[in-house]
Structure 1
């Protein structure tokens, strides 16, 4: 077998989804580097393949990458497999390819299972200009900035999320972007696979008390093209303020979503906040 690094996609649920090329590569290579030796070991035993397994995960990818490059340049055929799906998609692999490119080491990516593409097609949402997001940052400023930036995308958005955080994330996105079409793809290719077309607000309510089970991919419709139906600055600010955001935070999100100057958004947010405060006082008096 030609000396290369072979990135081998593995099943995301159904073991029958592995390709003949991947099986042949695993059989013929000199060693298999993998994200989790236990999980990949189970797959190899299922296939009847016995090969040396070497751990290569997010915390040692840089070190192992150099090792792999040296072995490939020496003429060895090395396979790499992540836990499930396509290496490099929310899994190690990206830096391995960068190492090979920098060193001039040959590599090949084999086609195969991918949760993101399977979910996108299954969602029924537009596939043109689709944006793969993966997991959002967990919290803080970085998460807010990601959400604001992604809110401007017109293509469908593909997100990975923990089932325990799905409801909160759907509510947070609905508050930032407004209610949008959203499709939950759960346990793809497995026995209890589910594709649930809904909206962000509906998914937030549905799983508020009881989270879904299994691995989840959330596909969300992109921002509507500019036109008469596009939400105005005032409508966006009102929605965000009524959702509990401070005027400063509402102005920042509205500015990012609608591409208006932040000082203009902030000035209008303060006016609207005062109006809401006065309106609340009037309702109380009545």
Structure 2
């Protein structure tokens, strides 16, 4: 799993002359266990004129495993934009081009999206050959409810930026799925524990491999447990359980408070200046700011005391 950082080069698909003779096959490949390659994946790769891939050395192992002899060409983050025009020209000439990432489904936190977008804009035929996905596998392995989920991919490396993003993700009413490297997972789990201390978190590691592991606990306990381990290996997927109904309600209340142009203190001051009684003002503030009436009343009393 590698974070996509494609610098998109301008490409004029409107002036590209492309027929539907060729086809671009976007192929999902195993995320660890090569035996997970489906017959259709093998058939598609074997029938292609060329296979575009992130790392020819990685894809060569898959091709060798199934005795497939098709030319491989590098098409990773750094070159995919610059090679798109030649790919479209080859599709126009009737070639069958397969595209794979090192593991999993292309375009999902991996290269591919830019090429697929350009091919569709140029009216090329595109097909998806499904394969394993670390996102879905990790969700299932976590055991958390997944009626709704949000895939974040890799967080920023800087701790302050991570925390800011995690706070924003707290408003998502579903499970959260993150990718992380084994070298940074300890620090990331520590930040997750700070933002989500009341949620369960699962660390899913080495998916589909011999040493596949799922460690699940409350966020602070999981962070502490992983911090005590040494030489953690394998690509990691972190799954944060969905928020409870109580947490969802609190997040919504916080968002309403943040989006209200008038602060609670300003509303108290205005109400008292208008001569409203404390009880009536507390009732009004309770509805306006979605807080208990008793809390609103206490804030009014506190405001009065501060004036004395």
Task: Give the TM interval when normalised to the shorter protein.
Answer: 0.7 to 0.9
Alpha-carbon separation, structure 1, partners of 2:75 and 2:83: 6
2:117 aligned with 1:120, yes or no? Answer: no
Residue 240 of structure 1 is matched in structure 2 by none
Q: Give the number of the structure whose alpha-carbon radius of gyration is greater.
A: 2
Residue 279 of structure 1 is matched in structure 2 by none
Residues 30 and 76 of structure 1 are in contact (CA less than 8 Å); yes or no, is this contact kept in structure 2?
Answer: yes
Deviation at 1:258, TM superposition (A): 4.6
For structure 1, the 5+ residue unaligned runs are: 233-253, 268-286
2:235 aligned with 1:215, yes or no? Answer: yes
Residue 86 of structure 1 is matched in structure 2 by 105
**Segment of structure 1 superposing worse, 157-166 or 138-147:** 138-147
Deviation at 1:255, TM superposition (A): 9.9
Residues 197 and 218 of structure 2 are in contact (CA less than 8 Å); yes or no, is this contact kept in structure 1?
Answer: no
Residue 73 of structure 2 is matched in structure 1 by 54
Residue 260 of structure 1 is matched in structure 2 by 257
Partner SS, residue 227 of structure 2: coil
Which string of whole-angstrom CA distances, capped at 9 and with x for unpartnered residues, describes residues 245-278 of structure 1? xxxxxxxxx899655328959x9xxxxxxxxxxx
2:244 aligned with 1:224, yes or no? Answer: yes
Residue 129 of structure 2 is matched in structure 1 by 110
Alpha-carbon separation, structure 2, partners of 1:99 and 1:29: 20
Mapping for residues 1-286 of structure 1, pairs under 5 Å: 3-139=22-158, 142-211=161-230, 212-225=232-245, 227=246, 258-261=255-258
Cα pair distance change 1:196/1:74, threshold 3 Å: same
Alpha-carbon separation, structure 1, partners of 2:118 and 2:131: 22
Deviation at 1:144, TM superposition (A): 4.0
Alpha-carbon separation, structure 1, partners of 2:44 and 2:36: 15
Cα pair distance change 1:256/1:92, threshold 3 Å: farther
Could you state the TM-score of these two structures normalised by the residue count of structure 1? Answer: 0.78
Give the paired residue count.
243
